[in-house]
């Protein structure tokens, strides 16, 4: 009896384990790693773009079409991947997605025609879209509301890190063995990650190594249980909030695609840099993308901690990021390449700053059982813009210059954020029955 009473005295005083033993941060580290690999895979085409266009004698419009096919694949795969994550869970769903896209990326090494590039690029897109629908669902399950924007910012920042790493990983391989081998190494790393994820990941309620204190922390400010019956697809598509977030990502997502896909080629063709110099020079901008992604999460958490309401915190961070993107107007007007790099760096910082809070907005207003599918639907919208914008970019560049495209890239994030804020209104939690 004494022992039982003693145990009852101690149990309520159980404290959180040290930071390095808190499991949610290890889960976040795995998400960070796979997101970096995701962007190494997709950035390989941009890094090797000058080689590919030379060997296959492609125009800018034809090169843009390869990027559009990738986005078409993402558009086709977004909703099925989101459904898969909600239906079978992210352990199975994300493992499958990573293995699927790693195989598609590796097959680029054997492409002998532009049509084969289309097939393999489409394949890559159908898998890579699962990264965000799965990742956003994992964050909603493993982090309390007040930490979600920061967690999303951290794992989203890996996109820019992956784009940065791609240059330094792929260029040496390309120099030693030819451009085709640049597609193989990231694919092998993806297969290794999938094996680790399968062995390590479980849901919070099922994970044997999750402490009770951390379990309580995760659910401490949840307005509802972590899992609940899933709403129907029809219900989701009837909501203005769903369409507002889809339109937001439609306009916002195409901008970062432009900077990721076209900038190495822009600095090579317009600024006169070599293939390696262009890739290395442009990679600096991705560091600022990382800063923006993490900074957007930190800023939102700080504003919430200071007592600002959820609506005001998200509005402030979204609009600030969109305002920085307006610096895109000045990029083609400066004569100095270092100044252009500085401006692009600030645009990518603004883009990822607002993106962290755009993705967090999904878990703010939608129940957990719908987060992956709504993220997938926004990905479909992003796929539509990603299908259109690269072809439009290539056509404009072939017929005119890069100038109109930079102007478009400056305005599109502000337009997207306006749609999101208009439909989310007071950020009230949606109740679906």
Ordered by start, the domain boundaries in the chain are 23-424
Pure H helices in 48-183: 49-56, 60-88, 90-106, 114-128, 130-142, 145-177
Closest to 256 in 3D by CA, of 39, 377, 409: 409
CA angle 307, 308, 312 (to 5 degrees): 170
Sequence-separated (6 or more) residues with CB below 8 Å from residue 117: 52, 66, 69, 108, 111
pLDDT value of position 82: 79
CB 143 within 8 A of CB 371: no
Q: What is the DSSP letter of 163?
A: H
pTM to 2 decimal places: 0.68
Report the alpha-carbon distance of residue 177 to residue 113 in Å, rounded.
20
Residue 160 tokens read as 């820019």
CA dihedral angle for residue 154, residue 128, residue 67, residue 347, rounded to 10 degrees:
-10
CA diameter of the chain = 86
Closest to 82 in 3D by CA, of 160, 135, 140, 150: 135
pLDDT tens track of the chain, all 433 residues?
444 444 444 344 467 767 777 888 899 999 999 999 998 988 888 788 778 888 888 877 787 778 778 878 887 887 788 788 888 888 999 999 999 999 999 998 888 888 888 899 999 989 998 888 888 788 888 888 778 777 877 887 787 788 788 888 888 888 888 888 888 888 999 999 999 999 989 888 878 787 787 788 877 765 555 455 667 778 888 888 889 999 999 998 888 878 877 887 788 777 777 666 766 777 778 888 878 878 887 888 888 888 778 788 888 899 999 999 999 999 888 888 788 888 999 999 998 898 888 888 887 888 777 777 888 788 788 878 877 887 888 888 888 888 898 998 899 999 999 999 899 887 887 776 6
Number of alpha carbons in the 13 Å side-chain half-sphere of residue 407: 7
Report the alpha-carbon distance of residue 22 to residue 127 in Å, rounded.
30
Distance of CA 36 to the CA centre of its chain: 9
Residue 293 tokens read as 């992604």
pLDDT value of position 230: 66
Stated length of the chain: 433
CB 106 within 8 A of CB 37: no
Straight-line distance from the first to the last Cα atom of the chain, in angstroms, rounded to the nearest whole number: 47
pLDDT value of position 361: 87
Does domain 23-424 fall under CATH 2.50.20.10? My reply is no
Closest to 352 in 3D by CA, of 290, 310, 409, 298: 290
CA distances from 188 to 31, 34, 123, 185, 276 (A): 17, 12, 17, 5, 24
Percent composition of the chain: helix, strand, coil (DSSP 3-state, to 5): 85, 0, 15
Among all chains, which residue has been given the structure tokens 């195989």?
Answer: 103
Report the alpha-carbon distance of residue 111 to residue 339 in Å, rounded.
37
CB 163 within 8 A of CB 43: yes
């Amino acid at each position: 009896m004494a022992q039982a009473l003693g145990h009852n005295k101690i149990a309520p005083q159980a404290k959180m384990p040290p930071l390095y033993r808190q499991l949610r941060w290890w889960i976040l580290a795995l998400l960070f790693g796979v997101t970096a690999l995701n962007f190494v895979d997709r950035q390989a085409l941009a890094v090797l773009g000058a080689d590919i266009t030379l060997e296959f004698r492609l125009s800018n419009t034809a090169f843009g079409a390869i990027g559009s096919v990738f986005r078409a694949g993402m558009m086709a795969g977004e909703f099925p991947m989101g459904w898969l994550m909600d239906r079978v869970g992210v352990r199975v769903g994300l493992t499958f997605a990573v293995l699927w896209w790693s195989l598609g990326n590796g097959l680029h090494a054997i492409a002998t025609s532009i049509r084969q590039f289309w097939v393999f690029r489409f394949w890559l897109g159908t898998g890579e879209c699962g990264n965000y629908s799965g990742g956003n669902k994992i964050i909603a399950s493993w982090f309390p509301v007040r930490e979600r924007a920061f967690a999303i910012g951290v794992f989203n920042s890996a996109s820019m890190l992956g784009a940065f790493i791609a240059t330094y990983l792929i260029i040496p391989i390309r120099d030693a063995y030819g451009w085709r081998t640049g597609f193989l190494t990231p694919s092998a790393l993806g297969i290794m990650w999938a094996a680790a994820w399968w062995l390590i990941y479980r849901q919070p309620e099922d994970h044997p190594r999750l402490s009770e204190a951390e379990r309580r922390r995760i659910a401490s400010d949840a307005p509802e249980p972590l899992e609940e019956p899933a709403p129907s697809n029809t219900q989701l598509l009837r909501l203005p909030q769903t369409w507002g977030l889809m339109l937001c990502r439609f306009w916002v997502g195409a901008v970062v695609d432009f900077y990721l896909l076209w900038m190495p080629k822009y600095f090579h063709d317009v600024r006169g840099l070599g293939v390696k110099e262009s890739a290395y020079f442009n990679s600096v901008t991705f560091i600022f993308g990382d800063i923006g992604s993490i900074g957007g999460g930190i800023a939102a958490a700080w504003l919430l901690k200071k007592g600002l309401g959820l609506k005001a915190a998200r509005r402030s961070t979204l609009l600030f990021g969109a305002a920085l993107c307006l610096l895109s107007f000045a990029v083609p007007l400066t004569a100095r390449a270092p100044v252009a790099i500085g401006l692009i760096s600030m645009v990518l910082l603004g883009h990822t700053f607002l993106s962290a809070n755009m993705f967090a907005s999904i878990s703010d207003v939608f129940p957990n059982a719908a987060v992956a599918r709504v993220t997938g639907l926004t990905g479909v919208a992003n796929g539509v813009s990603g299908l259109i914008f690269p072809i439009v970019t290539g056509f404009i560049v072939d017929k005119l210059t890069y100038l109109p495209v930079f102007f478009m890239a400056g305005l599109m994030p502000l337009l997207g954020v306006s749609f999101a804020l208009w439909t989310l209104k007071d950020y009230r939690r949606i109740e679906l029955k």
